[in-house]
Structure 1
Amino acid sequence: MTEAPLTLPEELLLLAHDPVRGRPLTIPGYLRYGLAGAALAELEATGRIAVDRSDRITVANPLPLGDPILDGALATLPAPAKGGRAIRAHRWVRQAGRPVQELCLRRLEERGALRREPRRALGLFPYERFPAGATDLTGPARARFKAALDAPLADRRAPLPDQRARLLAAYASAIDLDSKLLPGGRFRPLRRDLRRLAKEEWTANAAFRAVQHDKSAAGGGG
């Protein structure tokens, strides 16, 4: 039986993951928002949801897709048939980020891409690490991301090669992953372009707004 292709949330998690340390390269909460936003992009592409000009999400088709991550995300959205009201995208990604992340981790464990290692900080406080497993999917995810950026690096007017690559690049900026993957002054113009993408793509912008909310709250701004 052929293995199902990676979903966009899985690919983003691998892109943002340190395969040796088993931890995210960006702030964990920011990554969760990006994963939820990536799930919204997949659901929109399959006709399961729609979004209005106010970034309110409605379920257009509640039928499951047969994927545990996307079906889990879809189930958390308010269904019109049950009297559910539309929810703003940036609010949903804040609520759904943690469960979407856990679904992604479980699926990547099943694929052999990650290993779950229970640990204890100071011998008392439990936490988990997820180093790379026997199946290397992190390398290919990073290679796809790099390939997506080769054209814009060579020519600022060149578009990204496809919508999936465009979204991955947008999420990298939205969750502050771009500064880890593309550090230093050499990549500053590219990071500016990625920030523009993060604001143009509504699912990435939902994650970006959630991240900015956290930053504002941490700085005493709300």
Structure 2
Amino acid sequence: MAVTLAEEIMLLSLDDESGSAKQRQAAGWAVAGGILLELVLAGRVAVRGKHLELVDATPTGDPLLDGRTALIARWLGARGRRRVTDWLTKDQAKAVSATLERLCARGVVVEERRMALGMFPIRRYPEAVGVVERELRDRLRGVVLAGAEPDTRTAGLIGLIHATKLHRLAFPEGPARQIASRMEEVATGQWAAESVRSALRDMQAAMAAVTLITVVTAAG
């Protein structure tokens, strides 16, 4: 199966040389959101308003997605639906670890472990295969900078990046306002079925809410 939206966001977050994650907390929200949107596109979950529902537990064949589907099923239990923000808050950190593990399994990055000051374990994930990220960045540049029409998954990815304000991970250089404006245009465009676009809008609202809570808590 192709690299997932969550894995693409993780690749944008990882420094190519050091393998350390940039803007890790915000990227974590986007990674968790990327898994959810991927499951929406696959018809496994639905995001309606503030709530998440399981639609179909049939395996997709991708370990990352199928693992999350099973976790969501257990988390929902007999309730049938729960708040999207609650799931994102619960899954944010774990989603990052699961996504990194999947990238390692694919051979796209490698895990390096060392001790800082002889006491603190540190993990880094430098790239092993750079072509995946290069193709990803080329695709994003084509849509955002060159005005190409996005396919469904690329538009969804751009919507997630825009919602979590990770523009600089995708475009370290370039006109910030123009990039943000184009991302907003893509995120709100007619690039997929209304049910998918509605799910992304609801997820963007949820991620904006949890991101704001994180910022306020950190400031306090």
Change (3 A) 1:126 1:187: same
Task: Give the direction of change, closer, same or farther, for the CA distance of 1:172–1:82 in structure 2 (3 Å limit).
Answer: closer
CA distance in 1, matches of 2:131, 2:19: 14
Name 2:18's counterpart in structure 1.
Answer: 21
> What do the CA deviations read for 1:71-91 (whole angstroms, capped 9, x no partner)?
111122146994134221122
Aligned counterpart, 2:59: 64
The aligned runs of 1:27-176 (5 Å cut-off) are: 28-53=24-49, 55-78=50-73, 82-134=77-129, 136-152=131-147, 160-176=149-165
| Counterpart secondary structure, 1:24 | coil
The amino acid of 1:212's aligned partner reads: L
Contact 2:145 2:179 in 1 (8 A): no
2:212 partner amino acid: Q
Matched residues in 1 for 2:142 and 2:125: separation? 26
- Relative distance call for 1:180 and 1:70 in structure 2 (3 A) is closer
**Deviation sequence 1:108-162 (CA, Å, 0-9, x none):** 112211010012222211120000114632222211211121344xxxxxx8422
Deviates further, 136-145 or 124-133: 136-145
Which residue pairs with 2:203 in the alignment? 203
Identity %: 27
2:2 is matched with 5
Structure 1's 126 and 83: CA in aligned 2 closer, same or farther, altered over 3 A? Answer: same
Question: What displacement does 1:185 show?
Answer: 7.6
Instruction: Provide the residue aligned with 2:195 in structure 1.
Output: none
**Structure 2: segments with no counterpart, 5+ residues:** 189-197
- The number of residues matched between the two structures is 209
TM-score when normalising by structure 2: 0.83
Q: CA deviation at 1:207?
A: 2.6
**Structure 1 vs Structure 2 CA RMSD:** 2.6
